[in-house]
């Protein structure tokens, strides 16, 4: 019997996770509408098989156009970046509330079957993340609320709004709280990159230019867990299609210090560098990891790519970008799927 493939909207599709998600959905046979505010030439990945639209989703009319005729929505669009970006541009981060609000209205009006929202570990209170060990955050830890200023408040508000659209208007909403995602085809310079990409870039530049040191933000003893992007995409699709209505952590439980992250990248790059610790640089919380009890119980699955395995793919990609930049060449962002 012929079945019509699901028609799926991915917002923020020109970004890091959005690009990987579009690829995975296309591989699963979805018809994908990919929307982002950036010019197509600047998308991290762009797939000709998808319907690719450049629209500013802060505007309700553009959200209505994006949601028209689709079965499901993956809303990943947000103005965001690493800790340096979210500490500096709080108003810009909070303005993503226009995207979150208008996409919910448009999805509800269009009668879509499912609406997925990408929230963040930044919804958790800083007071629960002021040490380096035993920092696994449970979903219930988001309340009483005191999220990361700016970015975290917007994420928590948007989560809650999704819940009320579910309760009041019957829209099936699903929410994942992503913890630090990394991998190839994401921001690696320019201020929006996260710690793994920044460390890979610094090490690649040192290696390729003969420098003997790199700068580390903080004392390097702050702890984090980092989720490889393939795990993020797999978990996103599972949570979006699953039965759990409340927000779920989607992150790795492999806790490492930033110094350990640097050790691993150095091993992969084959270099050993002096570390200059910049103690007044933005560092975020002291320690953070994902408690995966709920996702394991509900899906018999959790992100499991080891940091070493994920970086073994990510570092060479970033080293190649750095090498091309040093050679005065830029890699085309518009590329065919592998
Ligand atoms: P990203 O910055 O690479 O992608 C976000 C995309 O949204 C960008 O391409 C951007 O151009 C687009 N966008 C911004 N404003 C828009 C607008 N007005 N209209 C349409 N598109 C717009 O970020 P990412 O790492 O791929 O993150 C995707 C989602 O996951 C975001 O919502 C982010 O907050 C969330 N998240 C990411 C991480 C992480 O570690 N990467 C962690 C927690 C949560």
Q: For 55-76, how does the pLDDT look when each residue is reduced to its tens digit (9 = 90+)? A: 999 999 999 999 999 999 999 9
Strands 173-178 and 114-120: parallel
Distance (angstroms) between ligand 1 centre and the Cα of 211 equals 33
Residue 338 clears pLDDT 60, i.e. is over it: no
> Angle 276-251-310 (CA atoms, 0-180°, nearest 5)?
60
Q: Is residue 198 part of a domain?
A: no
Q: What is the mean pLDDT of residues 213-226?
A: 95
> Quick check: CB of 63 below 6 Å from ligand 1?
no
pLDDT tens figures, 261-313:
999 999 999 999 999 999 998 878 889 999 999 999 999 999 999 999 999 99
- How far apart CA 94 and CA 154 sit, in angstroms, is 5
**Burial grade of 262 (CB within 10 A; 0-12, 13-18, 19 or more):** buried
- Cα separations in angstroms, 45 against 48, 163, 172, 324: 10, 31, 29, 18
Residue 226 clears pLDDT 90, i.e. is over it: yes
For the entire predicted model, the pTM comes to: 0.95
Q: Is residue 337 part of a domain?
A: no
Band (pLDDT 50/70/90 cuts) for residue 171 is very high
300 φ/ψ sector (left φ>0, alpha ψ -120 to 50, else beta): left
Q: Which domain holds residue 71?
A: 8-180+228-250
pLDDT for 64 = 98
Residue 1 clears pLDDT 80, i.e. is over it: no
Which of 108, 249, 89 minimizes the C-alpha distance to 175? Answer: 249
Q: Is residue 329 part of a domain?
A: no
pLDDT for 83 = 84
- How far apart CA 52 and CA 10 sit, in angstroms, is 10
Q: Is residue 192 part of a domain?
A: no
Catalytic residue among 151, 178, 182, 315: 151
- Structural contact between residues 279 and 81, judged by C-beta atoms closer than 8 angstroms: no
> Quick check: CB of 15 below 6 Å from ligand 1?
yes
pLDDT for 331 = 58
pLDDT for 268 = 98
Q: Is residue 54 part of a domain?
A: yes
Residue 151: active-site member: yes
Domain count, the chain: 1
Strands 72-75 and 114-120: parallel
CA dihedral 220, 225, 231, 236 (to 10 degrees): -120
Residue 108 belongs to a domain with what CATH number? 3.40.50.720
């Amino acid at each position: 019997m012929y079945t019509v493939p699901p028609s799926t909207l991915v917002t923020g599709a020109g970004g890091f996770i959005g690009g990987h998600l579009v690829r995975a959905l296309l591989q699963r046979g979805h018809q994908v509408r990919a929307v982002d505010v950036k010019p197509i030439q600047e998308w991290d990945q762009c797939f000709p098989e998808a319907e690719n639209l450049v629209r500013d989703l802060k505007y309700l009319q553009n959200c209505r156009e994006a949601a028209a005729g689709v079965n499901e929505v993956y809303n990943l669009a947000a103005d965001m970046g690493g800790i340096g970006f979210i500490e500096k541009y709080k108003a810009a981060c909070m303005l993503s509330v226009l995207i979150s609000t208008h996409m919910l209205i448009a999805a509800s009006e269009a009668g879509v079957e499912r609406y997925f929202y990408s929230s963040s570990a930044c919804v958790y209170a800083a007071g629960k993340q002021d040490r380096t060990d035993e920092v696994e955050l449970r979903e219930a830890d988001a309340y009483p609320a005191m999220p990361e200023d700016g970015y975290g408040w917007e994420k928590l508000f948007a989560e809650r709004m999704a819940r009320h659209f579910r309760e009041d208007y019957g829209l099936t909403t699903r929410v994942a709280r992503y913890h630090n995602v990394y991998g190839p085809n994401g921001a690696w310079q320019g201020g929006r990159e996260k710690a793994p990409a920044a460390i890979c870039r610094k090490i690649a530049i040192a290696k390729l230019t003969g420098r003997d040191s790199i700068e580390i933000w903080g004392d390097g003893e702050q702890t984090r867990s980092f989720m490889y992007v393939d795990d993020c995409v797999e978990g996103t699709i599972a949570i979006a299609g699953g039965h759990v209505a409340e927000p779920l952590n989607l992150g790795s439980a492999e806790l490492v210090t930033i110094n350990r992250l640097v050790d691993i990248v150095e091993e992969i790059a084959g270099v050993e560098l002096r570390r200059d610790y910049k103690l007044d640089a933005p560092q975020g919380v002291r320690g953070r990891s994902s408690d995966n009890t709920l996702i394991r119980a509900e899906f018999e699955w959790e992100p499991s790519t080891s940091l070493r395995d994920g970086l073994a793919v990510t570092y060479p990609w970033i080293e190649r970008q750095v090498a091309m930049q040093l050679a005065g060449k830029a890699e085309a962002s518009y590329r065919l799927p592998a």
